[in-house]
Amino acid sequence: MDAATECAEKPHYRPGRPIVMIGPMAVGKSVIGSELARALGIEFVDTDQRIVAKHGAIPRIFSARGEHHFRQLEARAVAQVLDAEQPKTVVLSVGGGAVLDSGTQQLLAKTTVVFLRATLETVRERILRTSGRPLLAADPVETWSRLAAARGPVYARLADITIDVSNSSVPELVTQLISMLAEESRKENPEQ
């Protein structure tokens, strides 16, 4: 691909705020967030990865200390990234339940929030074959559906951008997201 074609497909876009990936479990927040950061040439942080690096596996945290303790670690991990005086230009992927914390919700107001939506069919194989999500240990399909439905209004309310990730590859979604982020930024700063 020559430089002109690449430029046409990937609009020049430099984020002015942190970009935060939210949505139900297994929709691709971690993998798409990481690839988006790479494409934009900016830092990537995943709160679950930070918690695991510092405190060990998530199922173990849930069983040893309880979900409430995990939520405290999660809220703290979000705040460490977003509460900085000058939040860095970063893509931040959070766990599916992180947005239920009111402090986190306030911090998200100063970011560009991307809500990743997917059908149950898209995530079905992923949640059946993977372990590591303690909330899905029993009856993963039913539990995923119930949590996605219950949290859906919160994701929708917080979102600046909503993207359906059901039928596209990760590279396709990254390209689509960069266009959507550039468009959102033009809406916020029409003079640019």
Which residues of this protein are in contact with ligand ADP, per CB under 6 A?
A: 25-32, 93, 126, 165, 168-170, 173
- In terms of phi and psi (left: phi > 0; alpha: psi -120 to 50; beta: otherwise), the region of 168 is beta
Q: Report the nearest approach of Mg ion to the CB of residue 91 (Å).
A: 12
Q: Select 13 or 29, whichever has its Cβ closest to ligand S3P.
A: 29
Does the annotation place 95 within a ligand binding site?
no
Closest to 21 (Cα-Cα) out of 58, 53, 46: 46
Task: Tell me the per-residue interface mask from 36 to 65 with ligand S3P, x by CB under 6 A, - otherwise.
Answer: ------------x---------x-------
- In terms of phi and psi (left: phi > 0; alpha: psi -120 to 50; beta: otherwise), the region of 161 is beta
Total interface residues for Mg ion by CB under 5 A: 2
Q: Select 176 or 185, whichever has its Cβ closest to ligand ADP.
A: 176
Q: Which does 15 bind (CB under 5 to 8 A by kind): ligand ADP, ligand S3P, Mg ion, none?
A: none
Does the annotation place 77 within a ligand binding site?
no
Contact 28, 165 (CB under 8 A): yes
Name the residue with the smallest CB distance to ligand ADP. Answer: 28
Under the binding rule (CB under 6 A), the answer on residue 134 touching ligand S3P is: yes
The single residue among 39, 135, 154, 161 that binds ligand S3P, judged by CB under 6 A, is: 135
Closest to 19 (Cα-Cα) out of 113, 106, 123, 107: 113
Does the annotation place 28 within a ligand binding site?
yes
- CA distances, 108 to each of 6, 44, 58, 101, 132 (Å): 32, 16, 23, 11, 26
Compute the distance between CA of residue 18 and CA of residue 22 in angstroms, rounded to an integer: 13
Token digits for 186? Answer: 């033009």
Q: Which stretch binds Mg ion (CB under 5 A): 24-32, 100-108, 159-167, 184-192?
A: 24-32
Q: Which residue has the tokens 């798409």?
A: 32
Binding residues for Mg(2+): 30
In the complex, which residues of this chain contact Mg ion (CB under 5 A)? 29-30
